[in-house]
Amino acid sequence: MSSSRRLSVIVPVRNSTDTLARALAGILSSELPRDDYEVIVVDDASSDGSSELAARYADTVVRLTGRTSGPAYARNRGSELAQGEVLVFIDPDTLVRPDTLPRMLATLAEHPTLDAISASHDGAPAARNLASQYWNLLRRFGEQRQTGTSGDVASPCAAIRRNVFYAAGMFDEWRFGTAPLEGIELGERLEDSGRNVLSSRCLEVTRLKQSNARSLCREVWNRSILLARSLGYHRTLAAVPGEVAFTLSRTGAPAFAIACAFALSAAFLRRPNLPVLITIFLLGMLALDLQAYLFFVRERGVRFAIGAAPLHLLLQGTSALGLCAGWLLRDTFGDRAPDAAMQAYAEVGLETWPPVPRAGAG
Helix, strand, coil: what percent of the chain each, to 5?
50, 15, 35
Kindly indicate the confidence band of residue 317, based on its pLDDT and cuts at 50, 70 and 90: confident
SS3 of 234, please? helix
Residue 27 pLDDT exceeds 90: yes
Q: What pLDDT, on a 0 to 100 scale, did the predictor assign at position 265?
A: 59
| Helical (H) or strand (E) element with 319 | helix 302-333
Q: What pLDDT, on a 0 to 100 scale, did the predictor assign at position 243?
A: 87
pLDDT digits (tens, 9 = 90+) for 225-261: 998 998 888 888 877 878 888 888 765 544 544 555 5
pLDDT average, residue stretch 72-85: 93
Residue 149 pLDDT exceeds 70: no
User: Beta strands 197-207 and 94-95: pairing type?
Assistant: antiparallel
Query: Distance of CA 212 to CAs 54, 209, 216, 253, Å?
Result: 26, 10, 6, 27
Q: What pLDDT, on a 0 to 100 scale, did the predictor assign at position 62?
A: 94
pLDDT digits (tens, 9 = 90+) for 157-170: 999 999 999 999 89
Residue 362 pLDDT exceeds 70: no
pLDDT average, residue stretch 122-147: 89
Residue 104 pLDDT exceeds 90: yes
SS3 of 178, please? coil
Residue 92 pLDDT exceeds 90: yes
Q: What is the side-by-side strand order in the sheet with 60-64?
A: 60-64, 37-44, 7-13, 86-90, 157-161, 116-121, 197-207, 94-95
Cβ neighbourhood burial of 43 (10 Å; 0-12, 13-18, 19+): buried
Q: Which amino acid is at 301?
A: G
Q: Which percentage of the chain shows pLDDT scores above 70?
A: 79
* CATH number listed for the domain at residues 8-210: 3.90.550.10
Higher pLDDT, 313 or 57: 57
Nearest to 74 by CA among 57, 83, 61: 61
pLDDT digits (tens, 9 = 90+) for 251-310: 554 454 455 555 555 555 556 566 655 665 566 666 678 888 999 999 999 999 999 999
Residue 201 pLDDT exceeds 80: yes
Q: Which amino acid is at 357?
A: P
> CA-to-CA distance for 256 and 247, rounded, in angstroms?
16
Whole-structure pTM value: 0.85
Please provide the average confidence, as pLDDT, over all residues in the chain. 84
pLDDT digits (tens, 9 = 90+) for 275-284: 655 665 566 6
Domain residue extents for the chain = 8-210
